[in-house]
Copies of this chain bind each other. A is one copy, B any other.
Amino acid sequence: MQFSKSTGYALHALVYLAGANPGTNLGIRELAEFLGVSESYLSKVMSKLRQGGLVRSAPGVSGGYELAHPAGNITFRAVIEIVEGRQPLYECARFEEHRHSLFRKQGARGHAARECLVQSVMNGAEQELQAYLRAHTIQWVLDNARLSKHANTRG
């Protein structure tokens, strides 16, 4: 139960892109060297981010990557969903079909009550996790970083 390394690469790469001068394309070479990972592997991750609409890419001589949106609009949640996929944190295997009452919600007032109670606890936990991840953006990292160059919030 851990986030993949790919997710880590993606997040760090996006922060790096966000910290670069706007309008400039950063090549996979520079990104990979900065993160300490092979170009071939990182390019896979960047492709996912592009397909997910978080970055734009340009081929050719002065090509590379840049953010497709302001860093304040890119949440951790979005990055993780793109890299890890949309699978839920937990899914009951075959307990749904289980007729035993132990895991069935009390069907108070016409509620659907079709969900396993273990499942609903896990879902609740996942909601908490994702709410936090939605509340934090790439820009948040920049805002809290000890930048040597002058930050954009006040010169």
* Chain A interfacial positions (CB closer than 8 Å to B): 1-5, 7-8, 11-12, 15-16, 19, 34-37, 76, 80, 84, 87-95, 98, 100-107, 113, 117-118, 121-122, 124-126, 128-129, 131-133, 136, 140-142, 144-148
Contacts and interface: CB of A to CB of B under 8 A. Distances in A.
Contacts of A121: 76, 133, 136, 140-141
A15 B16 CA distance: 47
Copies per complex?
2
A88 to B, nearest CB: 7
Contacts of A142: 102
A15 B103 contact: yes
B128 A94 contact: no
